[in-house]
Structure formats: C-alpha cells, structure tokens
Amino acid sequence: ETGVTQTPRHLVMGMTNKKSLKCEQHLGHNAMYWYKQSAKKPLELMFVYSLEERVENNSVPSRFSPECPNSSHLFLHLHTLQPEDSALYLCASSQVSAGYSPLHFGNGTRLTVT
C-alpha cells in the first residue's frame, strides 16, 4: 500500500483516442499534483490542486485536462495526444500547512501514444 494509487499502470493509446488517468490518495492530504517524467529530463509539474484551488503550468497543452472532484481523487483526461506526450505520468499528494510537507508519489502510469 503506497498511500497514493494510480491506474492504469500502463496505457497505450492512439492520437485520436480519449482516455483518463486516475489517482487516489489515502493519506488525508489536501493537495494533489500531476507530474510528467520524460527520459533524461527533470520532472515537469503539470497541475496542482491545493485547498480546492487549481494551479497549472501554462506550458501544458490543452489536450491535458485535470479534474479533482474531492481531496482524495485526481484525474487527468487525455485527448488528441501527440507521440511526444509519451512519458511516465506521476501523481503525488502532500499536506499543505505552515511547515514543509514532502510529496508522496504513486507508481505512475506509463503512457505510450502511437
């Protein structure tokens, strides 16, 4: 039990498909994140939902659409993706408070766009 569960573990989709990635955290945290991890690159923050506020990286294309229905669940809706979107997508959660709070990550979804 990692505390942060991501499904599916692997996903192969065509450029015209629509799919969704799911993340669930069981840690009682109040912030959730989507990161993109490409080979030999630093992790790229895509979206943050913190205390019911959404923050996004302006460089993320609109073909990625996040949804956070409550503090425990986070989705990433995908449509009309490009081959360069193939990467590992990591979900994380943390507790936003006055002090620091490390991120707790899931095992990621390996996405391949064909």
Partner 1 sequence: AQTVTQSQPEMSVQEAETVTLSCTYDTSESDYYLFWYKQPPSRQMILVIRQEAYKQQNATENRFSVNFQKAAKSFSLKISDSQLGDAAMYFCAYRRSGSARQLTFGSGTQLTVLP
From its phi and psi, is residue 97 left (phi > 0), alpha (psi between -120 and 50) or beta?
beta
> Which lies closer to partner 1 via its Cβ, residue 33 or residue 64?
33
Binding mask 72-111 for partner 1 (x = CB under 8 A): ----------------x-x-x-x-x-x-x-xxxxxxx-x-
> Which lies closer to partner 1 via its Cβ, residue 40 or residue 70?
40
Dihedral, CA of residue 46, residue 54, residue 25 and residue 5, to nearest 10: -30
Three-state DSSP state, 67: strand
Three-state DSSP state, 80: coil
Amino acid sitting at position 41: K
From candidates 20, 22, 24, 43, binder to partner 1 by CB under 8 A: 43
Residue 69 contacts partner 1 per CB under 8 A: no
Judge contact between 29 and 49, C-beta under 8 A.
no
Q: Cα(29)–Cα(52) distance, rounded to whole angstroms?
A: 12
> Which lies closer to partner 1 via its Cβ, residue 69 or residue 102?
102
Residue 64 contacts partner 1 per CB under 8 A: no
Binding site for partner 1 (CB under 8 A): 2, 31, 33, 40-43, 45, 48, 50-51, 55, 88, 90, 92, 94, 96, 98, 100, 102-108, 110
